Amino acid sequence: MFLELLVAGFGGIVWFSFLVIIVFGPEPIVYLLQSGNLNGAIVLTMGIGSAYVIGILLDRAYFPVWRRIDDAQREKVGIDVHKYYEAQVQIATNGNDRLSDLLAFYTSRMRILRTSMINFLLMALLGLWAFWPYKITPWFILIVGLVLSIVSANALQQLTEKYYKKVVEAKVLIMLSDNSA
């Protein structure tokens, strides 16, 4: 979970920096990057700590968007919410460790893709807006951000569908093994 929050946080720091440039101009960012008074280890520690805290905040802020995506994917696979949670409980209590680890891995990848999808979109839009007044053509930022956001969304959709199918398969296997015992 720590790594997922760091990925979300560093993405948030980038688009937040674009937002600072939009509101205050580039001077605050330039000042921070050029200040020779700060020790590199302190800056690194503060950066990782800030990214983690921002990652937690973004994870919670993005949750309503994720919920809609999850609901749509569950419907596509044909799982209702109560059966899904029941399957999760059965997998946790009766499933094998390899299956639980695989599902945890999928969940981790899904969380990274979700935050990346939104962060890349915000980076693209805010990057375009931030650099437009400075006569810098920010099309590269826009195109790369939008492409990465679309790729993240597509990968998220595929992985989420795969995850829910695996949950259904696992529940069926657990029920069959319980009936044969």
Burial degree of 87 (CB within 10 A; 0-12, 13-18, 19+): buried
C-alpha–C-alpha distance, residues 147 and 127, integer Å: 14
At a CB cut-off of 8 Å and minimum separation 6, what does 60 contact? Answer: none
Mean pLDDT, the chain, whole residue set: 80
- Of 20, 174, 120, nearest in space to 33 by CA: 20
- Give the pTM: 0.76
- Cβ-based neighbour number of residue 124 at 10 Å: 22
Give the domain range for residue 34.
2-180
Q: What own/partner pairs with CB < 8 Å and gap ≥ 24 does 66-72 have?
A: 66/114, 69/114, 69/156, 69/157, 69/160, 70/160
Q: In percent, how much of the chain has pLDDT > 90?
A: 8
Domain total in the chain: 1
Q: What is the CA radius of gyration of the chain?
A: 21
Position 146 scores a pLDDT of 93
The residue among 41 and 10 whose pLDDT is bigger is 10
**Does the structure show a pLDDT above 70 at 179?**
no
Cα separation, 52 vs 2, whole angstroms: 8
pLDDT higher than threshold 80 for residue 127: yes
- Mean pLDDT for the stretch of residues 98-118: 85
Cα–Cα distance for residue pair 44/69, rounded to 1 Å:
34
Q: What is the pLDDT, as a whole number, of residue 46?
A: 77
Residue 168 has pLDDT above 90, yes or no: no
Q: Is the pLDDT of residue 178 over 70?
A: no
**Does the pLDDT of residue 143 top 80, yes or no?**
yes
Give the pLDDT confidence of 61-86 residue by residue, as tens digits.
888 877 877 777 777 777 766 677 77
The mean per-residue pLDDT over the stretch 154-167 comes to: 85
At 172 the pLDDT is 63
pLDDT band for position 171 (cuts 50, 70, 90): low
- What band does 151 get if pLDDT is binned at 50, 70 and 90? very high
